[in-house]
Chains A and B, each alone.
Chain A
């Protein structure tokens, strides 16, 4: 069963068309939702949560039809909003307990569960402080804890790592990835931080000007048109290059002075090591060349910008 299945979804806000004929099929896993500001990501998320009504189209989320079963869908989804979204005057643990109670956990059980989840999120004694005094990173943790406290099947995370220091970011990404790999919970991440998507996502959806511009697995996106290898060497570059050329491997040089060889020879690695041994060259690294997600994103968005304007609801 598909996690999300949308067919020709249109959403208009008066004269503005926010979503324009969206056809989308997302399988269980970790999916990155990318798009420039105003692309329609927030509208799409609200639509999945059943918070806004469809103008036309149909679809299902976790097998539940869109539009008519908003509460049932929200029972199964954990949503972490981008905005701060807290209730002043409550402590961190009270916010998580409150979120659990709103999702239907009994009060005492909600408190126990809130502590358990805050432990999981790495929040220590600061959980007893009023949330108004929390740093951005701590609020992110509380928001994440609130989104998973009721043990949802599917997580929608809006900019989950914004405001986190590198260490915390790494930890949160690990937790998110773990939700899928160990617990089987699907995740949809809306973010502008492309390395986050590169780090944990299986699939990428790029939305621009209300349309799906790309929906592909990250593995496929990473593949270059022809297999290539990036080789970094420390010395004897000219000798190494001429020896490789004699073996039939032509190279180009990148801005970082790395050598890129295009080859589908399965013995490329072995031959490279032998050449390095013969020429006395020290190899720093050999890695298959991947497409840059940033490049794909920019190209996709630029293509969308070049396309004729189609976002007026009256058109």
Chain B
């Protein structure tokens, strides 16, 4: 019972701008999705790799800096040495220190991370080059691997949990009338819904990647490192866009095709698993033909495996990310990128039609 029932009173306050209405849909969707215990668990797990990468950045900066520092200390302690020779020795020691750090990183890349793409190229590039360029290369590579491996898999599960219900639930409970009987357009509804999986993707990829970048800056010997790595935040944002648009659009399209969210859920995982499974089968067949291990660089570089790589959404996204992080040329990834663009546009078209259908009949 209300303490004081004022009855019905007219309301004539100031309304929010029309362009902000999509945010209401997005915010409510995020809040509802975050109520799920599974979503919260996946979010927690999704931040665990950040710790590993954080440790990686820490040791990387230590390796780049530690040996030179120890040699500097020897040089600095000897005040009696002639100035010119000290300068010479200092330069030499700095070079030795850098080389020692680089050797350590090279050894790690060559042994522990050789299964990741471009690890060996990166290891070779450590032998020569400007240290600032090497730092930029390694940071980009670490973040690319971060996006491509742990976060991609976690995003697959996170979106598989969040997105299937977003439209199918509205179709089942006929909640679309709640939206469209108000001053909300179909595009605003779509934008609001697309931003829900996008927000979760950003929460487990963009935010941790940017946090890692800031951590790496703090760990580096000088804040001036920012000037040699300023492009990395932009690459992170670019990789996020490449990840968010196709995944959100496909997930919502599948959700809009059914009133049962479990079917959308199943379809989501099927799209990823079947495509990647088909490519793996081709990879295996090729490797048997070449009598080499399935993930041998020669097998991966073979024309057949490269051509059929577009079957796998995972590979397409990986190609796009490698291009954005600067490890592939566009000529090598255009097929995957084209597939992503086409899939995104097709999904949005289907989504729009499915949203329009219940209202127009």
Contacts and interface: CB of A to CB of B under 8 A. Distances in A.
Contacts of B16: 101, 104-106
A219 interface: no
B32 A86 contact: no
Interface residues of A, number: 44
Interface stretch (B87-95, B181-189, B326-334): B181-189
B180 A104 contact: no
B360 A183 contact: no
A102 B24 contact: yes
Interface string A80-92: 0101111111100
A103 B170 CA distance: 18
Contacts of B13: 105-106, 109
B354 interface: no
A79 B181 CA distance: 6
Nearest to A118: B2
B11 A98 contact: no
Interface stretch (A146-154, A159-167, A195-203, A244-252): A146-154
A119 interface: yes
Contact of B174 (A51, A83, A151): A83
A113 interface: yes
Contact of B169 (A87, A102, A150): A87
A18 to B, nearest CB: 10
A74 B178 contact: no
B178 A120 contact: no
B223 interface: no
A183 B9 CA distance: 9
Given A102-B182, A117-B8, A183-B10, A81 B21 contact: no
B85 interface: no
Residue of B5, B173, B182 most packed against chain A (CB within 10 A): B182
Contacts of A106: 13-14, 16
A71 interface: yes
Interface in B1-57: 1-2, 5-16, 18, 21, 24-25, 28, 32, 35
B361 interface: yes
A151 B11 contact: yes
A81 B360 CA distance: 15
B188 to A, nearest CB: 10
Residue of A84, A104, A113, A116 most packed against chain B (CB within 10 A): A104
B28 A104 contact: no
Contacts of B7: 120
A79 B183 CA distance: 11
Residue of B21, B25, B181, B359 most packed against chain A (CB within 10 A): B181
B30 to A, nearest CB: 12
A46 B7 CA distance: 30
Contacts of B21: 102, 104
A75 interface: yes
A19 interface: no
Nearest to A83: B174
For the side of the interface on B, what is the size category?
Answer: 35 or more
B360 A51 contact: yes
Contacts of B185: 71
A74 B183 contact: yes
A183 B21 CA distance: 28
Given A104-B21, A105-B13, A105-B16, A88 B183 contact: no
A183 B12 CA distance: 14
B174 A85 contact: yes
B285 interface: no
Given A46-B359, A71-B185, A102-B182, A89 B8 contact: no
Contacts of B35: 89
A102 B173 contact: no
B177 interface: yes
A99 interface: yes
Contacts of B182: 74, 99, 102-103, 150
A124 interface: yes
A85 B32 contact: no
Contacts of A90: 28, 32
B8 A120 contact: yes
B170 A151 contact: no
Given A116-B6, A148-B8, A151-B12, A124 B1 contact: yes
A84 B175 CA distance: 8
B179 interface: yes
Given A86-B175, A104-B15, A109-B13, A74 B181 contact: yes
Interface string A46-87: 100101100000000000000000011011010101011111
Contacts of B177: 79, 81, 83, 85
Contacts of B6: 116, 119
A113 B170 contact: no
Residue of B13, B18, B170, B183 most packed against chain A (CB within 10 A): B183
Residue of B9, B177, B359 most packed against chain A (CB within 10 A): B177
A109 B15 CA distance: 10
A129 to B, nearest CB: 15
Given A102-B179, A104-B15, A151-B11, A87 B170 contact: yes
A302 to B, nearest CB: 28
A178 B8 CA distance: 10
Contacts of B359: 46, 51-52
Nearest to B1: A124
Given A75-B183, A117-B8, A151-B12, A86 B178 contact: yes
Given A104-B21, A116-B6, A85 B180 contact: no
B18 A71 contact: yes
Given A103-B182, A150-B182, 4 more contacts: A89-B32, A95-B178, A106-B14, A120-B7
5 contacts: A83-B177, A85-B178, A102-B178, A119-B6, A120-B7
3 tightest Cβ-Cβ pairs between the two chains A and B: A104-B15, A79-B181, A151-B11
